[in-house]
């Protein structure tokens, strides 16, 4: 679950209790936490002098910082990392009901429009957490052709629809200079599904499988006209990001305007953000980047919590949440984990 900044020495049970109390209080209030705020609270039954001493020690160790002249302290990135890796797992976390997510996402609509479903997932995880939801579409490089439809729209206009194993649907219309024989349409549909289903999207082998010496000149010419609809899918289909809760997130996160503006710029350019999310596609656990662990310096005031979704043969995409380092990590981790499980179960039943 971790993307650690390095080995961290274990804390004593008392130090852990005080660090956990500071992080919980700061997440809830956003204000620096002093000894008077946590002394005597649940689990902190130590004398005020002891709490003050341990707060100072935690600051010396790098888990807390002391902003300005305030008497209170705030967690550092290392403090949040220890909290997430060591303290949250012991607390049992927060459970986001799978049926609630399924209702918000509306799985029944996914058969009609995968892009729409991915957008609903981004909106749903954002709605549940008040963070920015970012979902990557399945990578075309790992998708295979699942089904091909060839439809005669008009006497001289044919459309080819290709459905991939990742659920993406691409369409291409081909115009001919003379009416097309309907029998040729049925033959091409049967032939394409027999020859290319199971091959990688945009793979060179697709073109090879469409070459057949026994074909008549008419059949070969027709297949040649349809071929780009299958061989150029990977070139036409780019990796996409679906973003949920952008307006709400920006309006509620103005306390770190520099980091928020940097994230919005990343969303516009997309490439570096996609690279960040794709880098951990092999993981089968919730993973986090906290503050300075994010590769872009402009994002160091933020954290990312993510989980991959996919099918038995591999992960297809990522469901992630971005927000201030002061986010509710328990809720964010539970949300992306459950959303990834819900969507993965659906993909197993529909696209495999």
Residue 104 has pLDDT above 70, yes or no: no
Residue 197 has pLDDT above 80, yes or no: yes
- Which has the closest alpha carbon to 339: 169, 168, 133? 133
Between residues 225 and 312, which one has the greater pLDDT? Answer: 225
Single pTM value for the model: 0.72
pLDDT of residue 77: 96
- 143-236: CATH homologous superfamily? Enolase-like, N-terminal domain (3.30.390.10)
Mean pLDDT value across residues 175-188? 93
Q: Is residue 6 classed as helix, strand or coil in its secondary structure? A: coil
Sign of CA dihedral 62, 67, 69, 73: negative
Residue 236 has pLDDT above 50, yes or no: no
pLDDT of residue 96: 63
pLDDT tens sequence across 226-235: 988 887 765 4
Between residues 46 and 80, which one has the greater pLDDT? Answer: 80
Residue 4 has pLDDT above 50, yes or no: no
236 C-beta neighbours (distance < 10 Å), count: 12
pLDDT band at 137 (very low <50, low <70, confident <90, very high): confident
- Taking the domains of the chain in order of start, what are their residue ranges? 13-91, 98-139+239-350, 143-236
Classify domain 13-91 at the CATH topology level: Arc Repressor Mutant, subunit A (1.10.10)
CATH number of 98-139+239-350: 3.30.450.40
Residue 301 has pLDDT above 50, yes or no: yes
What is the C-alpha separation between 306 and 320, in angstroms, rounded?
4
């Amino acid at each position: 679950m971790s993307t650690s900044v390095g080995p961290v020495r274990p804390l004593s049970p008392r130090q852990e209790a005080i660090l956990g109390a500071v992080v919980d209080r700061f997440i809830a209030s956003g204000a620096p936490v002093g000894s008077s705020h946590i002394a005597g609270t649940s689990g902190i039954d130590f004398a005020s002098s002891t709490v003050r001493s341990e707060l100072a020690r935690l600051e010396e160790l790098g888990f807390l910082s002391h902003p300005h002249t305030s008497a209170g302290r705030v967690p550092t990135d290392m403090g949040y990392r220890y909290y997430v890796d060591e303290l949250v797992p012991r607390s049992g976390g927060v459970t986001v009901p799978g049926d609630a997510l399924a209702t918000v996402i509306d799985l029944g609509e996914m058969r009609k429009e995968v892009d729409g479903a991915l957008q609903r997932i981004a909106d749903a995880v954002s709605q549940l957490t008040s963070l920015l939801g970012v979902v990557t579409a399945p990578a075309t490089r790992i998708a295979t052709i699942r089904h091909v439809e060839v439809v005669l729209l008009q006497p001289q206009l044919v459309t080819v629809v290709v459905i991939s194993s990742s659920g993406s649907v691409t369409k291409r219309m081909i115009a001919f200079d003379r009416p097309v024989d309907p029998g040729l349409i049925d033959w091409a549909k049967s032939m394409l599904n027999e020859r290319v289903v199971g091959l990688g999207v945009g793979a060179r082998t697709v073109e090879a499988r469409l070459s057949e010496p026994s074909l008549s000149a008419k059949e070969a010419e027709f297949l040649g006209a349809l071929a780009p609809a299958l061989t150029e899918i990977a070139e036409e289909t780019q990796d996409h990001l679906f973003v949920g809760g952008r307006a709400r997130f920006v309006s509620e996160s103005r306390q770190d305007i520099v980091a928020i503006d940097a994230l919005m710029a990343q969303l516009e350019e997309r490439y570096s953000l996609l690279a960040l999310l794709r880098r951990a596609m092999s993981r089968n656990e919730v993973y986090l980047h906290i503050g300075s662990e994010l590769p872009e310096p402009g994002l160091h005031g933020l954290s990312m919590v993510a989980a991959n979704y996919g099918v038995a043969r591999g992960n297809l995409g990522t469901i992630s949440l971005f927000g201030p380092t002061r986010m509710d990590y328990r809720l964010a981790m539970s949300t992306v984990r459950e959303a990834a499980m819900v969507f993965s179960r659906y993909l197993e039943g529909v696209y495999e």
